Structure 1
């Protein structure tokens, strides 16, 4: 795969993730009725849910910014790990959260050569 194709793929995946996390954070920050009901079913009150939305937006901004992208990737990966555990605890489907987690890892691997190099050096 050419360098140009790799960059385009990384950009497209970043845009997709940006849209997903922006929508998710928007629903939390605006206290969307459906989102609040889901949060309540997990035992999370509305105020905490808004704070989670702020954390999500900050992590997303760090992820999108090239200079802080690795940190943002790690924060979003950890965030999705928490979402997966929460869904498992409450017997909710995890397929979507796992898919987003996989896309996050792939995007980080494609976008950040320094992360890719560190991961590959540890494996060898």
Structure 2
């Protein structure tokens, strides 16, 4: 693939992730009934859930800005790791969180070649 194609693919995946994380954070911050019911089933109170949404938005903003993108990537990966662990703890499906985390890793490798080189040891 050409560098231009890689860059475009990276930004298309970034937009998809922005939409997903924004919707998720919006539901937490606005205290959506469905989101609150899900949080309550895991023992998370409303104020904590709102705080999690704020952390999600801050991490997302850092991810989108190219200069802080690697930091944002790591924060979002950690966030999803916590979500996966929480779902496992409560015997809930993890396929959605794992899928989003996979897309996040692919996006990070496309957008940040230095990250790919550090993790995979590739020179490309």
TM-score normalised by the chain length of structure 2: 0.96
Deviation at 1:37, TM superposition (A): 0.3
Structure 1 gap segments, 5+ residues each: none
| Counterpart position of 1:53 | 53
The answer as to 2:20 corresponding to 1:26 is no
Query: Residue deviations 1:30-67, cap 9 Å, x none?
Result: 00000000000000000000000000000000000000
| Counterpart position of 2:95 | 95
Q: Distance in 2 between matches of 1:17 and 1:70?
A: 15
Deviation at 1:119, TM superposition (A): 1.4
| Counterpart position of 2:69 | 69
Q: Distance in 2 between matches of 1:64 and 1:121?
A: 24
Structure 2 gap segments, 5+ residues each: none
| Counterpart position of 1:42 | 42
Q: Which runs of 4+ in 1 moved over 3 A?
A: none
| Counterpart position of 1:2 | 2
TM-score normalised by the chain length of structure 1: 0.96
How many residues end up aligned between the 2 structures?
122
Deviation at 1:121, TM superposition (A): 2.4
